[in-house]
Structure 1
Amino acid sequence: MSKLLLDVVNLNKDFQVKSDKTFFRKPSSIRVLSNVSFKLYEGETLSIVGESGCGKTTLGRCIVRGVNASSGQVLYNTDRGEQVDFLTLKGKEFKSLRKDIQMIFQDPYSSLSPRMSVYDIISEPLLANFKLSKSEVDEKVTEIAQKTGLNVSYLKRYPHAFSGGQRQRIAIARSLISRPRLIVCDEAVSALDVSIKAQIINLLKDLQQQLQITYIFISHDLSIVQNISDRVAVMHLGKIVELATVESLFEHPKHPYTEALLSAVPEPDPHLKKDRIILEGEVPNPANPPSGCHFHPRCAYKTDKCVQQEPELQPIHDEHFVACHYANELKLRGVTNES
């Protein structure tokens, strides 16, 4: 197994929400992430999937410190062999490691400054983190532009002159210029056309091989997740309910929520009728989550135990973890099997 790169331990995030009913009422809090824990290994792609609002993007932003986690640890193993809590680093120590963890944002239109040229956008991380001469910066920007499929002659142009796919290549180049060890891809292809999606996914995979990068890939598109991932974590209402290798999760899901998500994956054969699982009821309110298992109001397999007792994320066999009381008993349908 590859070396451990990141160990996320009991990560929590609360957002304060002020009540509209009265000015003097204290703001209430909504727990968006609840005791999220997982390990990430060098060179792998771990995908985070789930419905909108489940906490995928918040998890990614907490890891890169785009937002501050309420509690928990993100233990990062540096290239010097030291383990540090990335969330508690300050000053020069934080700046020296900040370049190691980067992020690609969802919207290629709003994530690039319209006032900066492509050259300035890509070179900015170099100027912030390294002391380089103008010729050294030019060389590195040209190199990464070529690796990401950008026309070097267009580097002096501005983002408005480019398509969505080209803008996302610019964003990828910006994230790679500091040679990070980990990149969080937050819905990095969801705003792109289907043909452009395939190009960007292939680009990310090629760059991973060339530069030995580790990805956390946040997405709601399970067909893309199946293509790019080594492991997949399924989130529901701020918790990871299943974590497994991509083959194990897609072929033999062990959580009813995962089964429902997989049933929505489109089939390439237009004549094939798929038996999709429609979850009844409404998505639970994170400000007032249900008792016991948070999925039980929409689960077809629930019992009294599910209503009363919250399941813990437990291993059922090697590299497959599930938060379900009946994970070993249920026979759930995956994408490639009929059982």
Structure 2
Amino acid sequence: MDTSKVILEVKNLSKVYTTKKTEVKALSGVSFTVREGETIGIVGESGCGKTTLGRSIVRGIDATGGEVLLHTEDGVIDFLKATREQMKKYRRDIQMIFQDPYASLDPRMTVFDIISEPLRYNGGMSKSEIEQAVNQIAEQVGLNKALLRRYPHAFSGGQRQRIGIARSLILQPKIIVCDEAVSALDVSIQAQIINLLEDLQREFKLTYLFISHALSVVRHISDRVLVMYLGRAVEFADTEDLFSAPLHPYTKALLSAAPHPDPDVKVSRIMLDGEVPNPADPPTGCHFHPRCPYKTAQCEREYPPFEEHGKGHFAACWNLSPDGEGSGE
């Protein structure tokens, strides 16, 4: 697996929701690259734009601007501008696992029909070929094929998430967006699903975008991590670099809030002033400045560029000193 090969580029992706009274910028100029075979963790507080980012990439919702460049055997395709025929062809390459294993499955369809629906939609396979493919993927995700004619209500949360995973894999995609894929599950079941995702990644050479608020899970599964705040990317780095030496003040506060597995270890919690701003009325300049202990006058006036500060470590902050601490004014 060539992890140096870029498989996806997200460039200046934006999403604006317009009402009669205001505009809400759910995404503002988010850019990052994804290499083949890696897992990108996407983290941030609730409302930071993680799910909007994932759904915009797969065209579950229509982005307002930017590019999602999918590297295919036919060349580089802007997924956001793909024609109907291109969508039918390249939709196979990028799939999504949804957060809620209850709401994401049609209760009126059998599990067999749910998993086989993408194959039937794309056509080109006989009934026997479809049945063979569904039975095979069910076995690979740990579902008993004898239960495939049952309806979703007969399954537990963990089993339902396995059904969702099987559905996303049936077309043999290259990229899967996992939107809080384990957050609705019990902790013991979470571990099973995480192990399953890792096994499937090795077996099928998958690339993951793993959206989560569980930092311990993100650290375990991710190769690189993208940190978001109020619709913008504020930091992006290799997982160990980000967790051991975060640069952005928001990332530091986010990591300090994560519980430590050893109760005897005292963690210095960074307390932020105020609350997450209203995305319909964001602060001027850097959106984080009202809560930042290192803010300066420049922070209040101008939004900082998302730039590289060391090999592969990107951050958007005006006041980074060499050790990553805010320098103040």
* Interval containing the TM-score (normalised by the shorter chain): over 0.9
| Correspondences of 1:30-179 after superposition (within 5 Å) | 30-78=24-72, 80-179=73-172
| Cα shift at 1:140 | 0.6
Q: Find the aligned partners of 1:330 and 1:266 in 2 and give their Cα distance.
A: 24
Corresponding position: 1:241 with 2:234: yes
Residues 1:327 and 2:313 aligned together: no
Judge conservation of contact 2:58–2:94 (CA < 8 Å) in 1. yes
Match in the other structure for 1:21: none
Of the structure 1 ranges 250-259 and 286-295, higher mean CA displacement relative to structure 2 is found in 286-295
Contact 1:106–1:190 (CA<8 Å) still a contact in 2?
yes
SS at match of 1:156: coil
AA matched with 2:57: I
Q: Report how far residue 91 of structure 1 moved.
A: 1.8
Range with bigger deviation, 221-230 or 83-92? 83-92
Q: Which residue of 2 aligns with 1:251?
A: 244
Query: How many residue pairs are counted as aligned between the two chains?
Result: 324
2:248/2:324 contact within 8 Å kept = no
- The percent of aligned pairs where both chains have the same amino acid is 60
RMSD: 1.3
- Which has the higher mean CA deviation after the structures are superposed, 166-175 or 89-98? 89-98
Partner SS state of residue 18, structure 2: strand
Task: Give the deviation of 1:276 after TM superposition.
Answer: 1.3
- 2:287 corresponding residue in structure 1: 294
Shift of the alpha carbon at 1:329? 4.1
Structure 2 unmatched runs, 5+: none
2-structure distance, mates of 1:327, 1:204: 36
**What is the letter of the counterpart of residue 147 of structure 2?**
Y
SS in 2 for 1:272: coil
Confirm whether residue 216 of structure 1 aligns to residue 218 of structure 2.
Answer: no
Residue number in structure 2 paired with 1:10: 12
* Alignment-mate amino acid for residue 74 of structure 1: V
More displaced, 123-132 or 223-232? 123-132
1:295-325 CA distances to partner (integer Å, 9 max, x unpaired)? 0100111111211221110001111001011
Report the CA distance between 1:28 and its aligned residue.
2.0
SS for the counterpart of 1:13 is strand
1:274 is displaced (CA, Å) by 2.1
8 Å contact from structure 1 (residues 15, 30) kept in 2: yes
> Post-superposition shift, 1:328?
3.1
How many angstroms apart in 2 are the aligned matches of 1:309 and 1:29? 20
Deviation at 1:330?
5.1
Report how far residue 3 of structure 1 moved: 1.2
Q: Give the whole-Å Cα distance in 2 for the aligned partners of 1:170 and 1:185.
A: 14
- Distance, in Å, in 2 between the alignment partners of 1:88 and 1:154 is 40
Which sits farther off after the overlay, 264-273 or 223-232? Answer: 264-273
CA contact (8 A) 1:252 1:332 kept: no
8 Å contact kept, 1:259–1:332 = no
| Structure 1: gaps (5+ residues) | 19-26, 334-339
Task: Provide the C-alpha distance between the structure 2 equivalents of 1:332 and 1:292, rounded to a whole number of angstroms.
Answer: 20
Alignment deviations for residues 79-107 of structure 1 (CA, whole Å, 9 cap, x no partner): x1400110011221211111111000000
1:28 is matched with 22
Which whole-Å CA distance do the structure 2 matches of 1:320 and 1:130 have between them? 44
Deviations 1:117-148 (A, max 9, x none): 11100011111113111111111111100110
Q: CA 1:331/1:35 → structure 2, altered by over 3 Å: closer, same or farther?
A: closer
Using the alignment, how far apart are the partners of 1:205 and 1:51 within structure 2? 25
| Number of the residue aligned with 2:257 | 264
How high is the TM-score relative to the length of structure 2?
Answer: 0.96
Letter in 1 for 2:36: E
